[in-house]
Amino acid sequence: MRSATVAIVGRPNVGKSTLFNRIVGGRQAIVDDRPGVTRDRNFAAADWAGHRFWLIDTGGWSSVDDDPIHAGIRKQITIALAEADVVVLVVDVKDGVHPADREVADLLRPQRDRVVVAANKADEPARETGHYEFHSLGLGDPQAVSAATGRGSGDLLDRIVA
């Protein structure tokens, strides 16, 4: 039996690489405050509750059409989505719903049964309620997480392997 593949997607600087590192238990992905640092797909094996799976980190989705770097990142994301059994859409509770979040959600909605929304940067209990705003993306119940602290990551992983 082959291992499942899980792709992490979202707009730039929502914490995709930080979440990737949290799940794989190391610093395999470069984390930086500057957008565009992750361009190619980054792969690692992960394990949760006896379930092994491949995890794919992707660059940040941007709709800038005339930029060849963004076009290359979008191509890598499209490949990751085709390879994935489960897709984790990472959004930022501090920023709320962003137009780029809606754009990615529109792309994912036809496959919503395999998508989990991770409402990242819910570092404090007071911020956790901000994840409800992401119901408007039409991809089911968002999971409040903090990739930086690990808060909510176990619940997210339970949903990924379910």
Task: Specify the pLDDT at position 70.
Answer: 83
Q: In degrees to the nearest 10, what's the CA dihedral of 134, 138, 140, 146?
A: -30
Biggest alpha carbon distance in the chain? Answer: 44
> Cα(124)–Cα(145) distance, rounded to whole angstroms?
10
Beta bridge partners of 94: none
Closest CA to 88 of 62, 56, 117: 117
Task: Domains for the chain: give ranges and CATH numbers.
Answer: 4-161 (3.40.50.300)
Ranges of residues in the chain whose predicted pLDDT is under 50 = 29-32, 34, 36-37
CB 80 within 8 A of CB 38: no
